[in-house]
Amino acid sequence: MNQRKKIINCNLTDPNKILPFQYPWARVHYKTGVANNWTPEEVPMQQDIELWNKQGTGSLTDNEKKMILWNLGFFSTAESLTANNIVLAIYRHVTNPECRQYLLRQGYEEAIHTDTFIYICDSLGLDPDEVYNMYQNTSSIKAKDDFVVAITESILDPNFKTDTVENIQKFVSDLIGYYIIMEGIFFYAGFAMMLSLLRQNRMIGIGEQFQYILRDETTHLAFGADLINTIVEENPEIWTDEFRQTIVENIQKAVKLEVAYAEDALPIGIMGLNSEIIKEYMEHIADRRLERINLQKIYNAGNPFPWMSEIVDLKKEKNFFETRVTEYQTGGNLDWD
């Protein structure tokens, strides 16, 4: 038995002995998650309800409403897909106890996110069947979910084990599908759209909740990348040229799907957003994700939305009790945005 292989494959370590820690980074992400605690009901929705129902001057345009609905339709079900993958696929194979502690925390945060979309649907009086069926009825949303499900489905087999090079590669593909592509790419056009609306002081309750989700997702992504990098470090034989090429191709496909989603959600370009600028942003994001898992960046795109990284660093108490949306603290460049 190879004693180096310890973050996955439970026969080599005791999943019940959390001390002494072997992976201090997992503890850092756990503590960050706990420090960022929030619940959707803390955010008042009155102004959103008024604006959503308003007619005439200053009301939401049909295109703005469509953009909001598309993002609610995507996120409402994507949060459940992510949560299910943690519990039904990842948790079984990641047997290191401090990583499992983090996965439990992440699962809780996904429940908070799921709850956020219930709260938004209730507050705005949306038809739940409409919102929760969009992931099957709306082709640009379905294409994203189908893509992640296709990359990851083999490890849902109850007999699947991470005991061969090929199976560890499949497991890493699942982690890339959910952490890097779903949470790291497919969430980001939506974040940019909803937070652009927030910057115009429109739908500020939903915007505030999207800020907290973005901050949580930043940690999920950081944990996922550390987990992927550790598995690769401990099992270097999986990191073949061919495997790396497949990962890069999947990320390129994901960027295309995300740009198509943004074009569908924003058909005429609103709020200074159009498909060109979203494409540049997605390419910038994809380069960051590639570099975070030790792959070469491919796009060399600039960042058209530097304000997105400021949002990640927001302070909860400031946002809840003092500010309105455009007054975020500046500085503090988080590694992810």
Catalytic, out of 119, 135, 178, 281: 119
The contact mask relative to Fe ion for 135-174 (x = CB under 5 A, - = no) is ----------------------------------------
- Provide the minimum distance between the beta carbon of 334 and Fe ion in the complex, in angstroms, as a whole number: 16
- Provide the minimum distance between the beta carbon of 211 and Fe ion in the complex, in angstroms, as a whole number: 14
215 near Mn ion, judged by CB under 5 A: no
CA–CA separation, 48 and 65 (whole Å): 12
220 near Fe ion, judged by CB under 5 A: yes
183 near Fe ion, judged by CB under 5 A: yes
- Of 50, 51, 69, 62, nearest to 270 by C-alpha is 62
Pick one of Fe ion, Mn ion, none as the site partner of residue 287 (Cβ within 5 to 8 A by kind).
none
Distances from the Cα of 143 to the Cα of 74, 154, 187, 196, angstroms: 11, 18, 14, 24
Q: Pick the closer one to Mn ion by CB: 48 or 79.
A: 79
**Residues in Cβ contact with 257 at an 8 Å cutoff, skipping those fewer than 6 apart:** 140, 143, 144, 147, 186
- 324: alpha, beta or left, given left = phi > 0 and alpha = psi -120 to 50? beta
- Provide the minimum distance between the beta carbon of 220 and Fe ion in the complex, in angstroms, as a whole number: 4
Asked if residue 284 belongs to a known ligand binding site, the reply is: no
Other CB atoms within 10 A of residue 182 CB: 28
**Residues in Cβ contact with 232 at an 8 Å cutoff, skipping those fewer than 6 apart:** 172, 238, 239, 293, 294
Contact 124, 52 (CB under 8 A): yes
- Provide the minimum distance between the beta carbon of 55 and Fe ion in the complex, in angstroms, as a whole number: 36
- Provide the minimum distance between the beta carbon of 51 and Fe ion in the complex, in angstroms, as a whole number: 28
CA–CA separation, 226 and 228 (whole Å): 6
93 near Mn ion, judged by CB under 5 A: no
Whether residue 30 lies in the annotated active site: no
Polymer length in residues for the chain: 337
What is the total count of residues that contact Fe ion (CB under 5 A)? 3
Residue nearest Mn ion, Cβ-based: 113
Pick one of Fe ion, Mn ion, none as the site partner of residue 174 (Cβ within 5 to 8 A by kind).
none
292 near Mn ion, judged by CB under 5 A: no
Asked if residue 276 belongs to a known ligand binding site, the reply is: no
Q: Pick the closer one to Fe ion by CB: 48 or 217.
A: 217
Write the DSSP string, 207-229.
Answer: HHHHHHHHHHHHHHHHHHHHHHH
Instruction: Give helix then strand counts, H and E, for the chain.
Output: 14, 0
Asked if residue 263 belongs to a known ligand binding site, the reply is: no
Distances from the Cα of 60 to the Cα of 69, 186, 198, 273, angstroms: 12, 25, 13, 16
Structure token pair of residue 287: 């380069």
Q: Omega before 267 cis (within 30°)?
A: no
Pick one of Mn ion, Fe ion, none as the site partner of residue 208 (Cβ within 5 to 8 A by kind).
none
Restricting to residues 200-219, name those near Fe ion by CB under 5 A: 217
Asked if residue 110 belongs to a known ligand binding site, the reply is: yes
- Provide the minimum distance between the beta carbon of 17 and Fe ion in the complex, in angstroms, as a whole number: 27
Q: Which of 29, 93, 105, 113 binds Mn ion (CB under 5 A)?
A: 113
Judged by the rule CB under 5 A, the positions of this chain that interact with Fe ion are: 183, 217, 220
- Chain residues that interact with Mn ion, rule: CB under 5 A: 79, 110, 113
Active-site annotation, residues? 119
Instruction: Report the binding-site residues.
Output: 79, 110, 113, 183, 217, 220
As annotated, the binding site for Fe cation includes: 79, 110, 113, 183, 217, 220
